[in-house]
Amino acid sequence: MRQDAAGGVKGRRYGAAFFMTESRRYPVLRLVVGRLLGALPTLWVVVTLSFLLVRLAPGGPFDDEQRLPAAVKANLDRAYGLDRPLPEQYLRYLKGLVHGDLGPSLRLRDRRVADLVREGLPVSLTLGGLALGLALVLGLSGGVLSAYRRGRAWDRLLALASVLAVGLPPYVMAPLLVWAFAVTAGWLPVAGWEAGRPLDLVLPVIALALPTAGSVLRIMRACVLDVLDSPAILAARARGLAPIRVLWGYVLPASLSPVLAYLGGAAAGLLGGSLVVESVFGLPGMGRFLVEGALNRDYTLVLGKVIVYAVLVLMLNLGADLAILALNPRLHEQRSQA
Amino acid sequence: MSTRLRLKASLTILAALVLLALVGPWLSPWQVADLDWDHPAIGPSLQAAHWFGTDTLGRDLLVRVLAGLQVSLAIALIATGVGLIIGVATGALAGSRGGLTDAALMRMVDVGYALPVVLVALLLTVVLGRGMTTLLMAASTVGWLSTARMVRTETRRLAEAPFVLAATVMGVSRLRIISRHVLPNLMGPVLVHATLTVPSLVVLESFLSFLGLGVQEPAASLGNLLHDGARDMERAPWLLIAPAALLLVVVGTLTVLGEALRDRVDHVE
């Protein structure tokens, strides 16, 4: 039987010990599944809270400046199921959600929220993904350079650059970049989006990436400085390892975790930034219609997009956790033994 | 630079900025919403008595920038304060009670982290409409979450300290232990944390106002000034440059102050 195999040759390890040996088998798989399942209740609470919050609002989506006749309004409410008791609406919404249906938009005629998400998501993901990649490349290399040149010209220059990058959020950066590179120099398009025109993405990605790059740089610099002072690095250098091997084999793995842990925060920042960058550059992403939707009480649109965003943030956090784990075998062992 | 110097320099700059924001609009011949029909959208000019120029409606930019700074700082400070009170209370409760209370409160914080503040602001806008209240409530949630986490960790650490054990043995009530022994020891880290929260809230305020969810015209805040500046940048670049530079200086100074404070508090411990 499997128990005997897992329980060892002596065959006396049952109960808790049995589960322990079992859990050592696929620690990573178990962890991934565990974290995914752990994220579900969080997501459920987010959905429920958002739903309740949105429905607590006084007034409805059909209260315009010009008042609709009562009969028309009643008909609209009935058509969208808004006349039902709240618990029923809630259950209905959950049921739709499980099937990937986010309901109809209440203000954009004949549009379904899931379709709007499907249109916008690729654009936003491309923008956000590229920006995150650029931010990591710039921030990590800048942080390492800064730490290696502690107190010298490069370090000061990069410190100044990171202050500028963090203090000039995307909505300031974006118009400045447009002014400099598109209006004045004329090298890049001012705004717009056509599939297959990568030049359209250059300015938005830079504007979105810079603040995150600045934060990553600061975190990375602090970590690398810490690591450089550690005995492990002294030992590696004393053994005569080439500086580049010390960097790749010792410094980087040891200093990456805090940066990865920061990625959850970065996700929130990128998300907010992408709302603005999309609107400044006229990109048809997820942020489209969202602010208008919040202002004119398009419940389903706001709710649907908020949920999609929350899923993205949760997923990025999970990915970061797993990456930290992959970098640090010690954590990994502790988890599976606990 | 030494910690002392950074602390002094940033505090001086900050005091000057606050003074300017409070007194400046009062000294100027223009009001925030005054329209100068003779000089719409002119650049910085001493002759016309518009040192920073005017916007497209002919409103004096200097006054608007200073009044905007006043509003932005006020919002950031209030939101930090509210977030701090809720955060410290939650964190101290979770850290000292442990068990189910702790788990429930920290789950709440986890959920909060899954919902970025922009989304909270959007949801609140649906409920309350746009404006100051929405802005303040959304901004308060930022400081609350991180403060709660930090205070909880610190409380748990302090709960094991010998002097807390001694107090417990002497039969001091839990509430008294928290208020007289734990909280005073938390003041340092909490102060540092709060100082570092303020600049991020200044940015958040300007961000939400930029999206049109925050401070509404004709009142000025750094956010809606930046919004107008970005819109009219091609014909009147000073409209973007002035508020952007001010935002940069304020956020930079506050960050330096927070970090200097952190170094100092660490040093003392």
What range does the domain containing B250 cover? 3-23+65-268
Residues of B with CB below 8 A from A169's CB?
203, 206-207
Q: Is residue A62 in a domain? A: no
The reported pTM is 0.78
In a domain, A30, yes or no: no
Contact A214, A162 (CB under 8 A): yes
CATH of the domain at A228: 1.10.3720.10
Rounded to the nearest integer, the mean pLDDT of chain B is 82
- Residue A268 lies inside a defined structural domain of this protein: yes
Q: Quick check: is A21 in a domain?
A: no
**pLDDT tens, B91-132?**
888 888 878 888 888 888 888 877 778 888 888 888 887 778
Give residues with Cβ within 8 angstroms of B87, minimum separation 6: B143, B144, B145, B146, B147, B148, B150, B151
* Residue A110 counted as domain residue: no
**What mean pLDDT is predicted for residues B72-90?**
89
Q: Which of B203, B206, B240 sits opposite A175 (nearest CB)?
A: B240
Going from the C-alpha of A137 to that of each of A72, A133, A266, A313, B68, the distances in angstroms are 56, 6, 14, 21, 36
- B113 interfacial to chain A (CB closer than 8 Å): yes
Instruction: Answer whether residue B143 is part of any domain.
Output: yes
B114 interfaces chain A, CB cutoff of 8 Å: yes
Residues from chain A contacting residue B114 (CB–CB below 8 Å): 42-43, 46, 310, 313-314, 317
Please report, for residues A127, A146, A199, A204, B41, the alpha-carbon distance to residue A120 in angstroms, rounded to integers and kept in the order given.
11, 38, 19, 15, 37
- Does B44 fall in a domain? no
Q: Looking at residue A230, what is its pLDDT?
A: 87
Smallest CA–CA separation between B216 and chain A, in Å? Answer: 13
Q: Which chain B residues have a beta carbon less than 8 Å from that of A279?
A: 211
In a domain, B139, yes or no: yes
CATH number at residue B150: 1.10.3720.10
State residue B114's pLDDT score: 75
Distance CA A33, CA A27 (A): 10
Identify whether A2 is part of a domain. no
In the prediction, which pLDDT does A8 show?
42
At residue B72, the pLDDT reads 86
CA gap A265, A286 in Å, rounded: 19
Distances in Å between the Cα of B181 and the Cα atoms of A236, A264, B92 are: 45, 34, 12
**Cα-Cα-Cα-Cα dihedral sign, residues B131, B133, B135, B138:** negative
Dist CA A142 CA B219 (whole Å): 40
- Looking at A321-325, B146-150, B197-201, which range is the least confident one? A321-325
- Residue A258 sits at the vertex; the CA angle it makes with B203 and A208, to the nearest 5 degrees, is 40
Among A40, A45, A56, A172, which would you mutate to test the B interface (most chain B Cβ atoms within 10 Å of its Cβ)?
A: A172
Q: Is residue A107 part of a domain?
A: no
Q: Is the dihedral of CA A64, B118, B77, B230 positive or negative?
A: negative
Q: Is B126's CB within 8 Å of A163's CB? A: no
Please report, as a single letter, which amino acid is at residue A225: L
pLDDT in tens, chain A (338 residues): 344 444 444 444 444 444 444 455 666 677 778 778 878 888 888 888 888 888 776 666 666 656 677 777 777 777 777 777 888 888 888 888 888 887 788 777 778 888 888 888 888 888 888 999 999 999 999 999 998 888 888 888 888 888 888 777 787 888 788 877 877 767 777 666 666 667 778 888 888 898 889 889 988 988 898 888 888 888 988 998 888 888 888 888 888 888 888 887 787 778 878 888 888 888 888 887 888 888 777 888 888 888 888 888 888 888 887 777 777 666 555 555 44
Is A306's CB within 8 Å of B119's CB?
yes
Q: Name residues 29-58 of chain B within 8 A of A (Cβ).
A: none
CA distances from A255 to A163, A307, B135 (A): 21, 33, 37
User: Over the stretch B13-66, which tens digit does the pLDDT of each residue have?
Assistant: 989 888 888 887 777 777 777 777 777 767 777 666 677 777 777 787 788 888
B130 close to A (CB below 8 A):
yes
Q: Closest chain A residue to B254 measured between Cα atoms? A: A167
**pLDDT for the residue numbered A14:** 47
Least CB–CB distance from B211: residue in A166, A275, A317? A275
Query: What is the predicted pLDDT for the residue at B48?
Result: 66
State how far the Cα of A204 lies from the Cα of A174, in Å rounded to an integer: 7
Q: Would B169 be classed as within a structural domain?
A: yes
Across the A:B interface, residue pairs with CB atoms under 8 Å apart total: 119
Identify the pLDDT of residue A332. Answer: 54
Question: Residue A93 phi/psi, 5° resolution?
Answer: -65, -45
Can you give the pLDDT at residue A16?
46
* Record: contact B212-A272, CB cut-off 8 A: no
Quick check: is A229 in a domain? Answer: yes
Tally the domains of chain A.
1
Check if B13 contacts A (Cβ < 8 Å). Answer: no
Number of domains observed in the structure of chain B: 1
